[in-house]
Structure 1
Amino acid sequence: MAFSLKKFISFFLEPFTFGFLILLLAFIFLFFNSYKKAKIFLFIGLAYFFLVSSSIFSNLLMSPLENKYKNQENIDISKVEYVLLLGGDFERRAYEVIKLSKELKDAKIITSGYEGIDIIPEAIEARDRLISYGIDENRIIIQEKPKDTIEEAISIKKLLKDKPFILVTSASHMPRAMEIFKQQGLNPIAMPTAFTVKEKSSNSYLSIGNIKKVSMATHEYLGLVWFKIKTILNK
C-alpha cells in the first residue's frame, strides 16, 4: 500500500505530469469561456516548462545530489568482498561494476531489482548481461525480491550483516541510498556513476534532457522526504 501511494504521489509531481495539468487547467477555463484564468494558467504552464527545460535550473537541482559523494578515488577498497549493483538504469551503472570486477577479482557482485512491469526481474536481467560482458556467473548473487531501495537495504542486511560493500548506483540516487543503507546498520562504500551535471559547462540551453534531469532530481528529493517521514513515523 505504502509503495503504491508513493508511486501515485510521485507520478503527479513529475515535471511532465505537473506541467501538463497546469496547461490542462488553462484549456478547461478556455472551454468554459473564462479567458482571463485561461491566459493566467497558460502563461504559468509555458513559464514552468521553460524553467524545467533550462540547463541552469536542472543543474541547480541536480548538483547537490551528485556532488555529495563525487570524490571517492582515494578510498581503499582492496579488501572489499562485495559489490552491490542497485536495480534500474543498468547501462549507465554497468561500466563501474565491470571495472570493479576486474580490480577486485575475488569480489562477489550482487544484482538487485524486481520485475516491475517486466516479466524478468531486473536482478536476473542484470546478471545475464554481466555474464555476457565476461563476468563469471559464480561471482554473481541475485536479489530479485526488493521493490525499492528500502527493501534492498533490508535484504542486503540479511545477506551481509555488517560486512563492508561497494554500493554502485547513479550519482543522483546515491545520497538517498546511503542514508537508507546506513540506517539499517550497513557499511556501504559509495561508488557513484552516471553523472549528469557536466563540469566547466557555462552554457545555458533548453532541452528535453533537462526536463528529464529535473524529473530525476524531483524523484530523489521526494524519495528523501518519504524516507524521513517513514523514519519519524517508525520511531
Structure 2
Amino acid sequence: MAFSLKKFISFFLEPFTFGFLILLLAFIFLFFNSYKKAKVFLFIGLMYFFLVSSSIFSNLLMSPLENKYKNQEDIDISKIEYILLLGGDFKARFDEVVKLSKEIQDAKIITSGYEGSRIIPEAIEARDRLISYGITNNRIIIQEKPKDTIEEAISIKKLLKDKPFILVTSASHMPRAMEIFKQQGLNPIAMPTAFTIKENRPNSYLSIGNIKKVHMAVHEYLGLIWFKIKTTLNK
C-alpha cells in the first residue's frame, strides 16, 4: 500500500506531468472562455517548461545529490568481500561493478531488483549479463524480491549483518541509498556512478535531457522526504 501511494504521489509531481497539468488548466479555461486565466496558465506552463529544460536549473537541482559522494578514490576497498549492484538503472551501474569485480577478484557480487513490468527480475538479468562478461556464477548472489531501496536494505541486512560492502548506484541516488542502508545499521561504502553533470559544457535550453535530469532529482528529493516521514512515524 505504502509503495503504491508513493508511486501515485510521485507521478503527479514529475516534471512532465506537473507541466502538462498546468497547460491542461490553460486549455480548460480557454474552453470556458476565461481568456485571461487561460493566458496566465499558458504563460506559466511555457515558462515552467523553459525552466526545467535548461541545464542551469537541472544542474542546480542535481549538484547537491551528485557531489555528496563524488570523491571516493582514496578509500581502501582491497579487503571488501561484497559488492552490491543496486536495482534500478542497471545499464548505468553495470560498468562500475565489472571494474570493481576485476579490482577485488575474490569479492562476491550481489544483484538486486524485482521484475517490475519485465518478465524476469532485474537481479537475474544482471546475473546473466555479469556471467557473459566472464564473472563466474559462484561469485554472484541474487536478491530478486526487493521492490525499492528500503526493501533492498532490509534484505541485505539479513544477508550481511554488519559486514562492510561496496554500494554501487547512480550518483544522484547515492545520498538517499546511504541514508536508508545506514538506518538499517549497515556499513555501505559509496561508489557512485552515472554522473549526469558534465563539467565545462556550455549551458543548454529546451533539452529533453535536462528535463530527465530534473525528473531524476525530484524523484530523489521526494524519496528522501518520504523516507524521513516513514522513519519518523515508525519511531
TM over 0.5: yes
Tell me the equivalent position of 1:212: 212
Structure 1 CA distance for aligned equivalents of residues 203 and 57 of structure 2 = 12
**Per-residue Cα deviation, 1:82-124 (whole angstroms, up to 9, x for no partner):** 0000011111100100000100000000000001111111101
Structure 2 partner of 1:115: 115
- Summarize the alignment of residues 193-208 of structure 1 with structure 2, pairs less than 5 Å apart: 193-208=193-208
Q: Secondary structure at the match of 1:77?
A: coil
Shift of 1:202: 4.3
**Partners of 2:36 and 2:205 in 1: how far apart?**
31
Cα distance between partner residues in 1 of 2:204 and 2:23: 25
Contact 2:149 2:177 in 1 (8 A): yes
Query: 1:186 matched to which residue of 2?
Result: 186
Determine the structure 1 residue equivalent to 2:66. Answer: 66
Q: For the residues of structure 2 that align with 1:91 and 1:231, how far apart are their CA atoms?
A: 30
Unaligned 5+ runs, structure 2: none
SS in 1 for 2:150: helix
Equivalent residues of 2:113, 2:144 under 8 A apart: yes
Q: Does 1:138 align with 2:138?
A: yes
1:153 aligned onto 2:153: yes
Deviation of 1:199 after TM superposition, in Å, equals 1.6
Aligned mates of 1:138, 1:203 — CA distance in 2: 47
Q: Which residue of 2 aligns with 1:27?
A: 27
Give the distance between the partners of 1:210 and 1:230, measured in 2 at CA: 30
RMSD of aligned alpha carbons: 0.7
Question: C-alpha separation between the residues in 2 aligned to 1:142 and 1:229?
Answer: 30
User: Which residue pairs with 2:166 in the alignment?
Assistant: 166
Please give the residue correspondences for 1:3-18 in structure 2 after superposition, counting only pairs within 5 Å.
Answer: 3-18=3-18
- 2:45 and 2:203 map into 1 onto residues whose CA distance is 24
CA distance in 2, matches of 1:157, 1:89: 22
User: Where does residue 40 of structure 2 map in the other structure?
Assistant: 40
Code of the residue aligned with 1:75 in structure 2: it is I
Taking structure 2 as the reference length, the TM-score comes to 0.99
Q: Secondary structure at the match of 2:185?
A: coil
Q: Which runs of 4+ in 1 moved over 2 A?
A: 200-206
Deviation digits for residues 164-194 of structure 1, max 9, x if unmatched? 0000000000000000000000000000000
Counterpart of 2:187, as a letter, is N
1:190 counterpart SS class: strand
After TM superposition, give the deviation of residue 142 of structure 1 in Å.
Answer: 0.4
Q: Which amino acid aligns with 1:137?
A: N
Offset of 1:134 from its aligned partner? 1.4
Contiguous gaps of at least 5 residues in structure 1:
none
CA contact (8 A) 2:50 2:205 kept: no
Q: Residue type of the partner of 1:176?
A: R
Q: Normalised by the size of structure 1, how large is the TM-score?
A: 0.99
